[in-house]
Structure 1
Amino acid sequence: MPRVVHYAEQALLGALLLEPARLADTGTLIATHFDNHSHASLFTAIRTLPPPDPDLHAKDPTWLNQVLDNARPDAPGLDAPYLHALIQFCPQPRHAPAYARMIRADHARRTLRLHAERLTQTATDSTGPDPATAVLTRADAFGRVLDDLAGQFAPHPGSLPRTLPTADVVRQAGEEDLDEERLLLATAIARPEETQRMRWLAPQDFTTPLHAALWQSVTALVHRGDMVDVVTVLGETQHRGLLTTSLTPRDLMDLISMPTGSPEYWGERILQRALLARARTVAERITAYTDDFANTPHQLITGSRRALADLTAVRTRWHHATSPGPTARAARAGATAPPRAGPPRTTAPATRISR
């Protein structure tokens, strides 16, 4: 079934074919704003040809034939009966400005949806050399589109979208992801002086609640200035109620007892995954807004900006992680963060304890 914009395009073209002088009332409307290709070709032809004399046009179809001949190479399906049908369909030629606004509004909705789809694709493709930069570049382009559209549509009361926000993207944690989080926890305990600098990593960046809670336990000890090792972390987790019959002290010690590399290295990898996941959530939320035709362009722009602000919060932490201060940069330059040797662990190794 044709959408409302289809009828707006028909009405506008009918008005312009009947009274070509109404073209001046269409404002900034251009052919690419049309959803229907044939309609866009007709609009291009109307704009290209000189307007006819109004009195002559009322009696002579010559100009209509010229419009048809000009549009047909790009839209071969057009014919004279369709042009006459457009003229008959137009309710009021003097309402051409309203029809043009409807067309531009729908084009804005389609534009936002297109950029949301591109953001989803970029965030999903983690095979590139720098996925985080690619996502942030795409988000910046999205922001510029919103700025441009904001100047084209007037604000109004009730600026937030009526659509309920979608839930966050469910992050599917692979074994490699879980292994890197375990390595972070182990290295954070082994090198608490580096962990002190990692305030940019948040519990919500982890894929499992257990790892998030363990990270909170480790950082709590570090920020309090307490002694940090496997046993003291074990005590902190007990105070937080993490130890249960399904998670024994031995299980926990096995989980965090094999440090490899640098905690900042593993932390950046975890934060990058969180950044990509947040970008997917933002893109899906904006897509849901654009799929709801009850939302006005102003509501779509406002909702999209708020959604992108959620990504900005993670982006700020990513900037702190990848652009540390002089002291932290010098410390990292003197340290190495070797990758894991061999495939990711599927089970945590046993802890070696001297007796």
Structure 2
Amino acid sequence: MAHHPDPYEDDLDIVQTPRPVHYAEQSLLGAILLEPHRLDGIEALDGGHFSNHAHGALWQAMRELPPPEPDTHRSSPTWLNAVLDAARPHAPGLTASYLHTLVQVCPWPKHASAYARMVRADHARRTLLMHAERLVQTATDSALPNPVAATLAQADTLGQFLERLAGQFASHPGSLPRTVTPAPQAGHRGEDAVDEERLLLSTATAHPAELKDMRWLQPDDFTLPLHAALWQCLTTLVNNGQPVDSVTVLWEAQHRGLLADGLEPRDLIDLLSAPVGSPEYWGARVLQRALLARAFDVGSRIATYAQDPANTPHQLITGSRRALADLTTLRTRWHRSTSPPAPAPRQPRSPAVSRAGPPPQVTAVSTRALR
């Protein structure tokens, strides 16, 4: 995430060990202070890319001031003083001595473009972390009126940022992140989730015909393995055209070994005998929790990648895109669950055949015109 301290805070004398990008920023600024004409070879970099506020202020001042003539610059500090005067209103902690420090620490001014790429790369990593953290926060914000829409919108924003990022950094093979990510967390688990799954199973047992239109719900969407297995029992009976009630589901569950773990038959029948509402409603609730949980896991995985400075920009792009792809299938099924089925297209009538001769010529009619 971009570092934006108080502009009146002197953050130049760093006590703790600075990160490598600090030295890249110093070297880039020192290179331009020594040879301002190298600004022309550096594009797509502004003050907001710098992790240090004072460094960003200096860069903006350099960008806004016309570069001096090389001969004049070698013999006069006029341009250096102008840069300092332009940057100080935004970073009062800047001093002339610090500009001399920047000049001294720059290894080679001719490497300015390489230093600039380092600055852009670290800014990309921090910005990716910001987007990933926002996705995690949105997916867990229970106060949102439409959490799924907000979460998917944030996922889109993250995806668009990755697209822009891909155009800024050259790709290369073998670019998966090396970071070990934590195991997915069931962020949607809780008593409410368990209760909704039980209500779904009971209501689906009472109204099994409605399961034929609920292919958008999968066993992996359930929080408890038992509930996922019972959903498979129900869908198997429905797909095979078998009778469905609490006893037939119990029999199917027995064949799947669900009673071997201490589950009592009476408890299973009781679980399936309290229908409320419709299966579609409870199924949508289960799928919503699963989608938000997946978004939480995806955002956490991308944040873990971005927190590891060992990953290159392209590794971050590749790993993050793969993580977002894990959300795509759930997103597609969510849209199927919330969108009304499309009406079947009307078929054009066959032309009437005249007894006096061959059938008349019929011009093609578009499907849209028949609707």
TM-score greater than 0.5 by the shorter chain: yes
2:313 is the alignment partner of 1:297: yes
- Aligned residue number for residue 181 of structure 1: 197
Correspondences of 1:158-177 after superposition (within 5 Å): 158-171=174-187, 173-177=189-193
Report the RMSD for the aligned CA atoms in angstroms: 1.3
- Aligned residue number for residue 147 of structure 1: 163
- Aligned residue number for residue 232 of structure 1: 248
Give the Cα separation in 2 of the matches to 1:75 and 1:171. 42
Contact 2:188 2:289 in 1 (8 A): no
Contact 2:124 2:165 in 1 (8 A): yes
Correspondences of 1:190-201 after superposition (within 5 Å): 190-201=206-217
Amino acid at match of 2:28: L
Amino acid at match of 1:72: R
Amino acid at match of 1:46: M
Amino acid at match of 2:55: H
TM superposition shift of 1:209: 0.9
2:120 is the alignment partner of 1:125: no
2:258 is the alignment partner of 1:222: no
Greater Rg by CA: 2
- Aligned residue number for residue 241 of structure 1: 257
Correspondences of 1:89-108 after superposition (within 5 Å): 89-108=105-124
Going from structure 1 to structure 2, the CA distance change for 1:119 and 1:172 (only over 3 Å counts) comes to closer
1:37-69 Cα offsets, whole Å, 9 max, x none, are 000000000011111111111111111111101
TM superposition shift of 1:307: 0.3
Contact 2:188 2:293 in 1 (8 A): no
2:337 is the alignment partner of 1:321: yes
TM superposition shift of 1:245: 6.3
Give the Cα separation in 2 of the matches to 1:287 and 1:129. 25
- Aligned residue number for residue 128 of structure 2: 112
SS of 1:47's partner is helix
Give the Cα separation in 2 of the matches to 1:170 and 1:176. 13
TM superposition shift of 1:174: 2.3
Contact 2:28 2:112 in 1 (8 A): yes
TM superposition shift of 1:171: 3.5
Equivalent pairs counted in the alignment come to: 328
TM superposition shift of 1:163: 1.4
What percent of counterpart residues are identical? 65
TM superposition shift of 1:327: 6.8
- Aligned residue number for residue 78 of structure 1: 94
5+ residue gaps in structure 2? 1-16, 345-371
Amino acid at match of 2:112: A
Going from structure 1 to structure 2, the CA distance change for 1:327 and 1:179 (only over 3 Å counts) comes to farther
TM superposition shift of 1:170: 2.8
Give the Cα separation in 1 of the matches to 2:336 and 2:301. 26
| Of 175-184 and 10-19, the range deviating more from structure 2 | 175-184
TM superposition shift of 1:129: 1.7
SS of 2:213's partner is coil
Contact 1:171 1:207 in 2 (8 A): no
5+ residue gaps in structure 1? 329-355
Contact 2:291 2:330 in 1 (8 A): yes
- Aligned residue number for residue 6 of structure 2: none
TM superposition shift of 1:274: 0.3
